[in-house]
Amino acid sequence: NVTDFYHNHTYSSDSDSSCNDCGANRKVLGKDLWLGATGVLPVETTQNVIVISTAAELAAFAKAVNEGNTFAGKTIELANNIDLNNIEWTPIGCGNNTTTKTFKGTFDGNGFAIKGINGSGTQWGFFRYTNGGEIKNLTIEAGNDGTINVAHQSALFVAIAENNTRITRCAGYGNISIADGYVGGITCQGACTVTDCYFVGNITGAHWVTGMGFNAVATNCFVYGKIKGTATAFKVANGS
């Protein structure tokens, strides 16, 4: 069971939206707790738009990309804030620029936030690999009490943002840290543009540590926090 802090309600599963004790609906209470299940991807509209409103639908989108759907020419939109409930997130995109398992579409947060994100491992981020496309109008807030401990080539938004990926009007909140390797706030590295974005929190790594991304062209962006390298020789950048 998961406890909802609003009224100490308990729920048995993602599909069970009523409290075990009193029957209160958790969407009505404003806290639709995600337990890690993958839902069904919503039907695409006639305008090539897919609207996502739950964490389970977001997980279904990630699964589709990781199985080879690039969503090229499609737009993914958020309908509301989504709480990932501090459950480890499997990044979107599991390939590289020589494979099809990368995101090439548009992800529009519509001014909403993805909260409570958490993860581990190398090349971790909300997106692992983007190959062109755009991410815009999105806020991401770290879970795990605001600190995410990951590994080499990781960042909060996109680990590797290649082929002129565009990241626009996005905000990241939290601390991200690795013991060895490269780490970033918005992205870690890649040929991308980052515009009108900011990161609030500390970024700590061993060798290469960046706010917006190594090889990124950053415009009107800032980091409010500390960017720190722990190795004897390290490189700090906030975009090129």
- Render each residue's pLDDT in the chain as its tens digit; 240 residues: 344 333 445 556 555 556 666 555 555 444 457 888 899 999 998 889 999 999 999 999 999 999 999 999 999 999 999 999 999 999 999 866 556 689 999 999 999 999 999 999 999 999 999 999 999 999 999 988 888 989 889 999 999 999 999 999 999 999 999 888 899 999 999 999 999 999 999 999 887 899 999 999 999 999 999 888 876 545 555 544
Give the Cα separation of 14 and 151 in Å (integer): 30
pTM for the full predicted model: 0.84
Give the Cα separation of 114 and 128 in Å (integer): 16
Cβ-based burial of 58 (10 A; exposed 0-12, middle 13-18, buried ≥19): buried
Neighbouring-strand partners of residue 161: 130
Q: Could you tell me which residues come within 8 angstroms of residue 65 by beta carbon, excluding any fewer than 6 positions away?
A: 71, 92, 93, 94, 101, 102, 103
Position 117 scores a pLDDT of 95
Which amino acid belongs to residue 98? T
Give the Cα separation of 141 and 103 in Å (integer): 21
Portion of the chain with pLDDT greater than 90, in percent: 63
Position 236 scores a pLDDT of 57
Portion of the chain with pLDDT greater than 70, in percent: 80
